[in-house]
Structure 1
Amino acid sequence: MAYDFAPLFRSAIGFDRLAQLVDTAAQNPVGSSYPPYNIEKLSDAQYALTMAVAGFGPDDIELTVQDNTLIVSGRVSDAAPGGREMLYRGIATRAFERRFVLADHVVVEKADLTNGLLRIAVRQIVPEALKPRRIPISSGQAMAGDTVPGGEASPATDGLAMPVAAGTAVSPAPQPTSYAA
């Protein structure tokens, strides 16, 4: 199934990766539901991924972050502990691999395995360059790189005086008009 993202691209910049993510998600077949997991939002920037991994120890589970993807995989040896013969295995300890796509600027902070639950702490960190900032607007000042008549670049001014070519008449600035209401 293909989606048409043209309306989004007409008014948004930098969302081309979103289209790729949606296409990838649509192409991935629905996998097994093992092991079960929860994803919790703890705050605006904190998340917790909890997986039920009974029968797995810390050495049996591997966490990897690669290309904005968190990969959680687990493998347990088939040998019964202590050389015992297993008559019935009701606790699933089969190998698994789960993949979670991480948004930009999301980092995995830590992981903890307690009572058969693997808890992975994830945080979204917004870099200073991406935080909102106010841009001042000036009026009537030349900016560095602007061109003046004659095709030469004008130097940036400090806002006190505008450069004037020699022999040019300077007229007084127009006075603002006030309108009575």
Structure 2
Amino acid sequence: MTKPTFGTHPFLLGFDELERLVERTVRTGNDGYPPYNIEQTGEAGFRITLAVAGFAEADLSITLEDRQLVIRGRSQDDDARVYLHRGIAARQFQRAFVLADGVEVSGATLEHGLLHVDLQRSAPENVVKTIRIETGAQSDARTSRKE
């Protein structure tokens, strides 16, 4: 007997995409660069802060791709500079965060070498819908009218 996976459990209809979401989250990489914080800014607000010292606004891009927030940084090397010691990392990076349904990006700011991305979760609407139950005769009549 095989154990059903999370997405194939009979009580979780339509949640098969959840397994793919978890796999995609694992594949986003565990590189520690750049370091980041995630904080709660209110009852429905979050802020992701990345330490991006040495990156200008033009070197950074933020995109939302299929519920995945992707932050990329590409620094341009200045060939005119001669470094005696280079301790500030200036390599390119890509950080990805998977957002839940209803979470939207409300803004982004760059200040003092920190990139702040603000997120807001909208409250889901409670929807109650009554489903009409048809008898077999009504269903047969509807089928014969379509033919």
TM-score between both structures, scaled by the size of structure 1: 0.64
Q: Which amino acid aligns with 1:18?
A: L
Q: Which amino acid aligns with 1:49?
A: I
User: Higher strand proportion, which one?
Assistant: 2
Residue ranges of structure 1 left out of the alignment (5+ in a row): 137-142, 154-181
| Residue 117 (structure 1) aligns with | 114
Q: Which structure is larger by alpha-carbon Rg, 1 or 2?
A: 1
Alpha carbons 2:25, 2:97 under 8 Å: kept? no
| Residue 56 (structure 1) aligns with | 55
Shift in CA distance, 146/50, structure 1 to aligned 2, threshold 3 Å:
same
For residues 68 and 74 of structure 1, the distance between their equivalents in structure 2, rounded to whole angstroms, comes to 20
Shift in CA distance, 148/9, structure 1 to aligned 2, threshold 3 Å:
closer
For residues 77 and 4 of structure 1, the distance between their equivalents in structure 2, rounded to whole angstroms, comes to 46
How far residue 31 of structure 1 moved from its aligned partner, in angstroms, is: 3.1
Tell me: higher relative CO, structure 1 or 2? Use CA pairs within 8 A at least 6 residues apart. Answer: 2
User: Higher helix proportion, which one?
Assistant: 2
Aligned length: 137
| Residue 156 (structure 1) aligns with | none
CA deviation profile, 1:111-154 (whole Å, cap 9, x unmatched): 0000111000011224xxx5114568xxxxxx6x856979768x
| Residue 69 (structure 1) aligns with | 68
CA RMSD across the alignment: 2.9
| Residue 4 (structure 1) aligns with | 5
Alignment partner of 1:25: what SS? helix
Identity of matched residues, %: 36
How far residue 87 of structure 1 moved from its aligned partner, in angstroms, is: 1.3
| Residue 13 (structure 1) aligns with | 13
| Residue 22 (structure 1) aligns with | 22
TM-score between both structures, scaled by the size of structure 2: 0.77
* 2:89 is equivalent to residue 96 of structure 1: no
Q: Which runs of 4+ in 1 moved over 3 A?
A: 133-136, 145-153
Shift in CA distance, 110/20, structure 1 to aligned 2, threshold 3 Å:
same
Alignment partner of 1:11: what SS? coil
For residues 39 and 152 of structure 1, the distance between their equivalents in structure 2, rounded to whole angstroms, comes to 58
For residues 14 and 135 of structure 2, the distance between their equivalents in structure 1, rounded to whole angstroms, comes to 31
How far residue 54 of structure 1 moved from its aligned partner, in angstroms, is: 0.6
Shift in CA distance, 135/53, structure 1 to aligned 2, threshold 3 Å:
same
How far residue 85 of structure 1 moved from its aligned partner, in angstroms, is: 1.5
Alignment partner of 2:42: what SS? coil
CA deviation profile, 1:32-71 (whole Å, cap 9, x unmatched): 2000001112234211100001111111101111111111
